[in-house]
Structure 1
Amino acid sequence: MAGLTAAALAAVGFLAFQARASAPDVLAAPQAPGATPSAQVSGAPKPPAKDPLAVPEDSGTGERVVYALADRRVWLVGESGEPRTFRVMPSTVSPEPGTYAVTSRSGRVAGSDGVPIEHVVRFTSVEGVTIGFSAAVDGSMDSPDPEKRTGGVRMSRADGDAMWKFAAIDSAVVVVP
């Protein structure tokens, strides 16, 4: 019986050591200013932190508009130079991830929610709801009414202007999760 108890205690001690060694630094006990750790725990190197503003890796190549649904972010990726990225307010109806092409554009119209919008760049429809990017003329980016089926992905007027200049008819639009 004593042998089993000793083996169990050794196993628990080993597991506690492993847990401590793999715990994030934010859980470590605070150290005095200027103190350094007395020992380094070796292990696999940590992957570099993902840049939240970087163009999603699974968005293809070449000139394109990238719309990340979960991040509520758009990138205008040109052939050269740094991409422009900005936050957007999604509508109540979203497209499935995939590659689309700009199908139509309008300078200024009323949105499906009745708000006057400008720089409308449409790229698909979902169950009869047209999906596209736009900017409210009053500059608002309010959350859409969840009771209405709308397809406008809203952005600021400055970002809407950049989208308008960038995304011509047949331009690629890549939607990622």
Structure 2
Amino acid sequence: MTSQQQNAPRSSARVKRSRVNPMASAALITAAALVGVGVLAVQANGSAPNKAPAQAAVKQQPVASTNQAGQPVAPSADPLLGLPADSGKGKRVVYSLSKARIWLVGDDNKVQMTAQAVPGTITPDADTYKVSKWVTSGKASDGAAVQYEVLWGTRLSPTKFGFDAIASLPPDQMPSKPAAGTKTGGVRLTQNDAQAVWQFATVKDTPVVVVS
């Protein structure tokens, strides 16, 4: 083969056959990719769980809050928690014997606070009483050192009952039940709750409504 034959240009028809349209090549690649994605989607759909993640997820139980002593604390997000019906009107302290709980209710009949309580060994009758006296610190009838005493009772026994707190306990720790065989009309609260009652019932004759 001569040198002229080796360097001879290719025919125009041959050039056309060897060239590939760039647009067509991109279209083919895109189509192939879409087909691959479709296949993967079908495979994934065939192996996917029937339930959506939100439905299949196990609902976690809320963790109960506790105080410093490890005792459970009632939730306080809803201040109207269990407010007994027919417990009076206006500013008052409501005390439920069956629930061992108090509520501080303002002049607008809205609950300002609710707290768990430890009943005394002397139980008041369901009735309306009046606050008569306040004692910063002292000794209760069962011998316990208490503070933030808000005393209440009837006209004949105005200091027979009271709300108070054990002086030696941390601010948010619930007190224990009075010792067996002792007599006290003190309704025990945490230090924080007793102080709140002390600040709330600052006016003599503030009603204390006791319900069953």
Shorter-normalised TM range: 0.5 to 0.7
Query: Which residue in the other structure is 2:189 paired with?
Result: 155
Contact preservation (8 Å) 2:96, 2:211: yes
Query: Which residue in the other structure is 2:85 paired with?
Result: 57
- What's the offset of the Cα at 1:176? 0.1
Q: Aligned letter for 1:174? A: V
Query: Which residue in the other structure is 2:121 paired with?
Result: 92
For residues 89 and 184 of structure 2, the distance between their equivalents in structure 1, rounded to whole angstroms, comes to 29
135, 153, 176: which one aligns with 1:106? 135
- What's the offset of the Cα at 1:112? 1.3
The 3-state SS of whatever aligns with 2:199 is: helix
Contact preservation (8 Å) 2:104, 2:111: no
- What's the offset of the Cα at 1:79? 2.1
Which protein is bigger by CA-based radius of gyration?
2
- What's the offset of the Cα at 1:145? 1.6
Whether 1:171 aligns to 2:206 is yes
Structure 1 runs (4+) greater than 4 angstroms displaced:
none
Contact preservation (8 Å) 2:138, 2:145: yes
Whether 1:134 aligns to 2:169 is no
Relative to total residues, which structure has the larger strand share, 1 or 2?
1
Query: Which residue in the other structure is 2:59 paired with?
Result: none
Q: Aligned letter for 2:189? A: M
TM-score, normalised on structure 2? 0.55
- What's the offset of the Cα at 1:82? 3.8
Q: Aligned letter for 2:190? A: S
Contact preservation (8 Å) 2:95, 2:208: yes
Q: Aligned letter for 1:64? A: R
- What's the offset of the Cα at 1:96? 0.3
For residues 175 and 121 of structure 2, the distance between their equivalents in structure 1, rounded to whole angstroms, comes to 13
For residues 167 and 59 of structure 1, the distance between their equivalents in structure 2, rounded to whole angstroms, comes to 17
TM-score, normalised on structure 1? 0.66
Contact preservation (8 Å) 2:87, 2:209: yes
For structure 1, the residue ranges without an aligned partner over 5 or more in a row are 1-32, 35-50
Q: Aligned letter for 1:137? A: A
The 3-state SS of whatever aligns with 1:107 is: strand
Q: Report the RMSD for the aligned CA atoms in angstroms.
A: 2.4
Q: Aligned letter for 1:56? A: P
For residues 59 and 145 of structure 1, the distance between their equivalents in structure 2, rounded to whole angstroms, comes to 30
For structure 2, the residue ranges without an aligned partner over 5 or more in a row are 1-50, 56-78
The structure whose RCO (Cα within 8 Å, separation 6+) is larger is 1
Seq. identity, %: 36
For residues 60 and 105 of structure 1, the distance between their equivalents in structure 2, rounded to whole angstroms, comes to 23
Post-superposition CA distance 1:123-171 (Å, at most 9, x none)? 116x978211101112251111231111110000000110000012210
Post-superposition CA distance 1:1-53 (Å, at most 9, x none)? xxxxxxxxxxxxxxxxxxxxxxxxxxxxxxxx98xxxxxxxxxxxxxxxx981
For residues 162 and 112 of structure 2, the distance between their equivalents in structure 1, rounded to whole angstroms, comes to 20
For residues 111 and 82 of structure 1, the distance between their equivalents in structure 2, rounded to whole angstroms, comes to 29
